[in-house]
Amino acid sequence: MAETVVETERLILRRWRDSDLGEWLQHLNTPEVRAHLGGIDTPEKVAEKFARLKARWDEKGFSFLAVERRENGKFLGACGLGQIETECAPDELRGSVEIGWQFRADSWGQGYASEAAQAMLRLGFERFGLPVIYSQTSENNRGSWGLMERLGMERLAHLDYEDPAYPAAENPTKVYGLQRAAWQAVNA
């Protein structure tokens, strides 16, 4: 089983290792990183989520991946593709594929999320032949929706929805999307 899925100039996006759980708990389950993602999770909930992410690549053929710095193997975060399973999401979204990311706070502002997301969009459109890739965030998460816009994603306000799993300040969920044809026009 190949561990590395995608390499970029500075990053390796790879399947999860058991040893990554400790890194996740230390660097991704923090108040800063989880500020717009529902807050800090219990270690048990993180372990459950981690186990699901590890299994999804085999089950679905895609998942969120661990992101590490190529030069030294430092764990930076997660980026990848996942199926939208949120029950309160509009019908058009449920079952579709979204791109998402979360990076340790000390790596913010260095272009890692953009670099990883661009690699995952390429994978989604070229390798998996996806017709559209969505992304979701909240109005308060300016860094996230700013990246969506820089990636060329289009705001799809008609798909916004209220998600009771998140506090009122993080609602509604804002939806963006990128069509394969639009991505190809810029990345051919």
For residue 20 the two structure tokens come to: 């990554």
- Three-state DSSP class for 179? strand
Q: What is the C-alpha radius of gyration for the chain, rounded to an integer number of angstroms?
A: 16
Give dist(CA 102, CA 67) in Å, integer.
10
pLDDT tens string 165-183: 888 888 999 999 999 999 9
Closest alpha carbon to 130 in 91, 80, 67, 79: 80
Question: Can you state the percent helix, strand and coil of the chain, rounding each to 5?
Answer: 35, 25, 40
Residues 6+ away with beta carbon under 8 Å from 12: 4, 6, 67, 68, 69, 70, 73
Closest alpha carbon to 151 in 90, 99, 107, 92: 99
pLDDT tens string 110-161: 999 999 999 999 999 999 999 999 999 988 888 899 999 999 999 999 999 9
pTM of this prediction? 0.90
Domains and CATH numbers, the chain: 4-187 (3.40.630.30)
pLDDT tens string 32-77: 767 667 767 788 887 888 888 888 888 888 889 999 999 999 999 9
DSSP 180: H
Measured from the Cβ of residue 162, the count of other Cβ atoms closer than 10 Å reads: 10
What pLDDT, on the 0 to 100 scale, is given for residue 42? 84
Give dist(CA 28, CA 130) in Å, integer.
28
Q: How far is CA 107 from CA 75, 103, 104, 141, in A?
A: 10, 7, 6, 17
Contact 40, 31 (CB under 8 A): yes
Residues 6+ away with beta carbon under 8 Å from 163: 86, 88, 89, 170, 171, 172, 173
